[in-house]
Structure formats: C-alpha cells, structure tokens
C-alpha cells in the first residue's frame, strides 16, 4: 500500500539576471499531491517533462524528504526508515543501473542477496524463477558493462525483485528499449503484478506501457495531480481528438473548416484538431478543395496531447479514486 498525503517539494534555483546579479527562483516541483495505491494495483504515473514525476518518486523511495506532507510505503516513512524500506520495495530507474558495472550479472545479484540479507535457499529459488521469467540465462556470466540496454534492464528488474518486495516503483523502465525488449519487460511486469500481487507504480512517457499494463493512471503537471482515475475514461473524455498535420504547397492563413480547429501554423504546415466522430477523410477532401496539399499525416493523441489538452481547456477533470 502506498499512501501519499499532500506532499510538497520546492527547489531554489539560482540564475544570472544579467551582469553579476543573480536571481533566486523557487521551483515548486511537487505542489500538494495526495493519492493512495491499494495492494496489488498497477498504476501509471504520467506527465510532461519537468512535471514533478521524478521528484515524487524520489520522495516515495526515500532519496528526498518531502518539504511537507507525509508518505507511507507499506506503513513506513521512507525518509526516516530507508534501510527497513529497502527490504519492502523494489526500485528501477531506467536511466541508470543498480548493478555493478564490472561484475558479471550473477555476481551483482549475489551481492544484492547479501545487501538485503536474503536467505541463500530463498535466493536460489527466486533467482531461478527470475532467470526463467526474464530469460537471463544466456548472459548471467557477462559483465554488466557488456550487456545490451534490454539485457541490463532485465538484470535490473531481477535485482529489484530478488527480495520479493510487496511494492515496486519503476521510473521509465522501457526507455530506449527496442520493441521486443519492451514486450518482454511489459509481459514480465504483468506477471509479477498478477501472480505475486505486487503493487506497482510506473512512471513512463510510453503510452504503450500504460495501455498494456495500467487500468488506473495519475497525471501530474506543474507539481499537481491533474487526473487520477480510469485510463479508458481519460481517453474517452480527453484524448478523443486526433491531429491532422497538413503541409500545404504554399503558406496560407489558418484554414477554415466546420468543426475543425487550427491548433498551430508554422510556414506552410498547419495542425488541425479533428474531433472524435468527425470523418478525417472528409476533412482532407474539404481541405483539398480549398488549398493545394503537399503532404498529410494523421497523428493519434499521445500522452503529451492528453496533458496539454487537459490544461489548455482549463477544465481539469476532478481527481477521482480508482474504481
Ligand atoms: N535538484 C533540483 N534542483 C533544482 N530544481 C530541480 C531539481 N530537481 C528537479 N527540479 C525541478 O523540478 C521540476 C520537476 O522536476 P522532475 O525531475 O520531478 O520532473 P519530471 O516530471 O520527472 O520530468 P522528466 O519527465 O523530464 O523526467 C522541474 O522544473 C525541475 O527542473
């Protein structure tokens, strides 16, 4: 169980304000966030760059203390009980590894057994299981520095789960992975969640991760929760529109078509928002009557669109408990 109550964290940033003068500004990285993740839930944590995701994750894992508010991970306060917490949670940061760079993967995993004081027999059984699920066998003897990104990520997942923690926190676990490695990692995470009942909080920019794995999503922007609820409801209410990216032969004023809003114009390129229920082919045909088209592409909404739209429209969907 993860319980977060009104956490906040600000950073003071110094910048040059011209000449020798320096300006201090305060960045409210996390600005009053509350949520609960029940045991066995698999929740996606999304938001645009700089929204406050990593800062939240750092507070959940005890790397940073909240400026105010409380965090309880399986009942523990992460910033005060880091050692006890380490045995109850697994953490994976896609951008860096917890493995020892020069050691073969197997030795890294053995060291982790000692760190977490896992019983030797339990360790053997768990390692065998994880080796099988993540197909680690072919590279257990390879030094971590020689592993591909996908292999290393599988090694990191094994390291995070060797001590069988009830909670797993993942920060961009599929970043940079190819399609096959992504599928392996996603399939593995799904099994861990379903078969072991592990509670998982997943931060990602990859909507594919979310679609495959999470029923509930939380979206953060400017340090606040903009949405907390069902993925399907979010898609239906917010991400309904698609965007037609049109390259005209010559720059032109924003095209006027019924029901279609021009979002952006850059030289000959225009971005047209096509609402759900509007036939994109009919829009293209109407457009072709008015202007000469050089190229056209239809873009499905991605996470950034969803978040941008949530804010552009000003009407945040009220946060609601998962259900
Ligand atoms: N140590 C720090 N010192 C100063 N400012 C920081 C620090 N860490 C984060 N910030 C600022 O806090 C805000 C939130 O950053 P955070 O890393 O939590 O965002 P994020 O959602 O994880 O972004 P990304 O998707 O780019 O990883 C940003 O404006 C960032 O510049």
φ, ψ for residue 292 (rounded to 5)? -85, 125
Q: What residue owns the CA closest to ligand 1's atom 25?
A: 49
Q: Is 13 in the pocket of ligand 1 (CB under 6 A)?
A: yes
Q: Which range is least confidently modeled, 66-75, 77-86, 161-170? A: 77-86
Query: Distance of CA 149 to CAs 52, 100, 142, 173, Å?
Result: 25, 14, 13, 11
50 ligand 1 Cβ < 6 A: yes
pLDDT tens for each residue of 98-156: 899 999 999 999 998 888 888 889 889 999 999 999 999 999 999 999 999 999 999 99
Provide the pLDDT confidence category of residue 32 given band limits of 50, 70 and 90.
very high
Instruction: Give the pLDDT confidence of 163-209 residue by residue, as tens digits.
Output: 999 999 999 998 888 888 899 999 999 999 999 999 999 998 887 88
Q: Pick the residue whose CA is nearest to atom 4 on ligand 1.
A: 11
Burial class for 254, CB neighbours closer than 10 Å (0-12, 13-18, 19+): middle
Give the distance (Å) from ligand 1 centre to CA of residue 282: 43
Residue whose entry in the numeric block shows the structure tokens 């169980």: 1
Cβ of 53 closer than 6 Å to ligand 1, yes or no, is: yes
Report the run of H or E that residue 168 belongs to, with start and end: strand 167-171
Is the model's pLDDT at 82 over the cut of 90? no
Distance 205 CA to ligand 1 centre (A): 15
Q: Which residues contact 200 (CB under 8 A, 6 or more apart)?
A: 41, 42, 43, 167, 168, 169, 170, 189, 192, 193, 213
Tell me, what's the pLDDT at 276?
74
pLDDT averaged over the chain? 87
Of 291 and 5, more confident: 5
Protein residue whose Cα sits closest to atom 28 of ligand 1: 50
**pTM (2 decimals)?**
0.78
Residue nearest to atom 7 of ligand 1 (CA): 11
């Amino acid at each position: 169980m993860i319980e977060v109550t009104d956490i906040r964290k600000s950073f003071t940033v110094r910048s040059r304000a011209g000449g020798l003068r320096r300006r201090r500004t305060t960045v409210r990285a996390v600005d009053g966030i509350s949520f609960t993740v029940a045991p066995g839930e698999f929740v996606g944590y999304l938001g645009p760059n700089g929204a406050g995701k990593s800062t939240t994750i750092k507070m959940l894992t005890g790397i940073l203390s909240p400026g105010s508010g409380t965090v309880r991970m399986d009942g523990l306060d992460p910033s005060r009980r880091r050692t006890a917490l380490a045995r109850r949670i697994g953490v994976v940061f896609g951008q860096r590894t917890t493995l020892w760079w020069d050691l073969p993967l197997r030795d890294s995993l053995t060291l982790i057994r000692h760190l977490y004081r896992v019983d030797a027999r339990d360790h053997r059984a768990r390692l065998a299981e994880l080796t099988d699920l993540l197909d680690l066998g072919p590279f257990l003897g390879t030094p971590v520095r020689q592993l591909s990104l996908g292999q290393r990520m599988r090694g990191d997942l094994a390291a995070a789960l060797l001590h069988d923690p009830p909670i797993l926190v993942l920060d961009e676990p599929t970043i940079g992975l190819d399609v096959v490695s992504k599928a392996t990692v996603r399939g593995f995470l799904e099994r861990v969640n379903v078969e072991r009942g592990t509670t998982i909080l997943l931060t990602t920019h990859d909507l594919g991760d979310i679609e495959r794995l999470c029923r509930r999503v939380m979206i953060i922007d400017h340090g606040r929760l903009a949405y907390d609820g069902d993925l399907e409801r979010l898609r239906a209410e917010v991400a309904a529109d698609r965007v037609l990216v049109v390259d005209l032969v010559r720059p032109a004023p924003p095209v006027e078509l019924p029901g279609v809003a021009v979002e952006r114009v850059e030289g000959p390129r225009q971005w047209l928002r096509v609402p759900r229920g509007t036939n994109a082919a009919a829009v293209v045909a109407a457009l072709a009557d008015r202007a000469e088209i050089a190229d056209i592409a239809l873009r499905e909404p991605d996470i950034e669109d969803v978040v941008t739209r949530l804010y552009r429209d000003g009407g945040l969907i009220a946060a609601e408990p998962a259900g």
